[in-house]
Copies of this chain bind each other. A is one copy, B any other.
Amino acid sequence: MTLNRRKMLTGTALLATLSQKSKKSEAAELDIPSWTREPGAPILKKAYGAPSSFEKDVVRRTWTKMRGGQGSTLTPLASLRGIITPGGLHFERHHAGVPDIDPAQHSLVVHGLVSQPMRFSLDDLHRLPSVSRICFIECSGNTGTEWTKATRADVQSTHGLLSCSEWTGVPLSYILGETGMEADARWVLAEGADGAAMSRSIPLKKALDDVIVAYAQNGEALRPEQGYPLRLICPGYEGNMNIKWLRRLKLGQYPFYTREETSKYTDLMPDGKARQFSFTMGVKSVIVRPSGGMKLTSPGLQEINGLAWSGHGKITKVYVSTDGGKTWIAARLDGLILDKCLTRFTLPWVWNGQKAILQSKAYDEAGNFQETRQILHARYGDNLYYHNNGIQSWLVSETGDITNVFI
């Protein structure tokens, strides 16, 4: 049953001139490296593992100047696979640094227009029904620097305010069922215990839909940078609404107009008015390999590999172009395709050694699709920064060098 497939071989044919069944040839094929000649490192009695030292450059990076704990770090998307972001590489966006919270002293207060104000300790929450789901979190400012021109060199810098985890906690609908709600309650204020007391108003309708009071991320307790010991998860909503170090939920009749939804996180339109409460992250995608800063070392088979996501639901299609948008080919959606979750797409590509412009364009189940940056820019003007979900373009030169270009 010899398979005669298309020969897009990447491996090296071994010993083509020798019989493949010769014992001698097999020995020659299989040199014994030093690490096979003696036992490796012993295991530790109590340990929390770490990546290989050969992966030391796969880290979060930042291009912001730190002031009083204000800043962000970026996920190294080009090095990641699948849809899970390891906890150690989840992007960060802090308004007053990372508090070091003792979970035994932390609690969640639920008050305002409720029937019975209540306080929940961590132990209380662990006794309530739990749910887990995998979903992305994207900062609304992700790719903001690329609104009017191509500025940053690589995909970690252009799109790295994006990560995806399995989150576990108590449905907020269950907690509000315990406290009861007044008839005129329409909004929920969520407030963090960090020095910024980061706070946002969330529609009660959303709160009762799919919001989770989360205490775990990728199986373990939340990481400190992700809100340990409690974080609100608002699937599909802009990152800052997923309030970290959650300490308070207050029900009210109207939005609370916190500073984060008046002076910040609004979108200035061409007519001078600001779009407010732009909660849901639009449909978006990006090719992460090959991408800016990489170099193709030889013509031949490559895998074009990227991520697509939408705050409106599931991804339905991703198209890829290698000629700057003139022609498009449907990519394969790999593995799980989940609601408000990163979806991996792949496409085999034989690079012919010529100039190419790589693009991807995602579609979601709500009928949304990605547009070019030029179209979005023409529609929304110069001032937009948040919610840039335009198509990303990577230029592959004849030398194989890849750069970020604005199209």
What is A's interface to B at a CB cutoff of 8 Å?
A: 1-5, 7, 9-16, 20, 25-26, 29-30, 33, 35-55, 58-62, 66, 68-69, 71-73, 79-90, 92, 94, 96-103, 105-106, 109-112, 114-121, 123-134, 166-168, 175-183, 185, 193-195, 197, 215-216, 218-225, 228-229, 245, 247-248, 289, 300-303, 305, 332, 334-336, 338, 344, 346, 348
Contacts and interface: CB of A to CB of B under 8 A. Distances in A.
Contacts of A109: 14, 29-30
Contacts of A181: 1-3
Nearest to A164: B219
Given A2-B181, A11-B120, A48 B60 contact: yes
A103 B195 contact: no
Nearest to A76: B220
A42 B220 CA distance: 23
Top 6 A-B residue pairs of the complex, sorted by shortest distance between their CB atoms: A40-B97, A35-B99, A81-B168, A82-B132, A39-B69, A81-B216
Given A11-B120, A54-B103, A117-B13, A195 B38 contact: yes
26 contacts: A2-B181, A3-B176, A9-B178, A11-B119, A13-B117, A20-B112, A20-B117, A30-B247, A35-B193, A39-B69, A40-B94, A40-B100, A41-B224, A42-B97, A47-B73, A49-B87, A49-B89, A50-B223, A51-B220, A52-B224, A84-B219, A86-B218, A86-B220, A128-B303, A129-B346, A132-B344
B81 A62 contact: no
A149 to B, nearest CB: 25
B82 A216 contact: yes
Q: Give the oligomeric copy count.
A: 2
Given A11-B119, A119-B14, A97 B41 contact: yes
Given A3-B177, A46-B59, 6 more contacts: A49-B60, A52-B100, A52-B222, A54-B229, A81-B220, A129-B348
A180 B3 contact: yes
B223 A111 contact: no
B51 A221 contact: yes
B84 A84 contact: yes
A99 B43 CA distance: 11
A83 B220 CA distance: 10
A299 B405 CA distance: 63
Name the residue in A14, A50, A52 with the highest tally of chain B Cβ atoms < 10 Å from its Cβ.
A52
A68 B94 CA distance: 46
B40 A98 contact: yes
Contacts of A223: 49-52
A212 to B, nearest CB: 11
A92 B43 contact: yes
B48 A126 contact: no
A69 B42 contact: yes
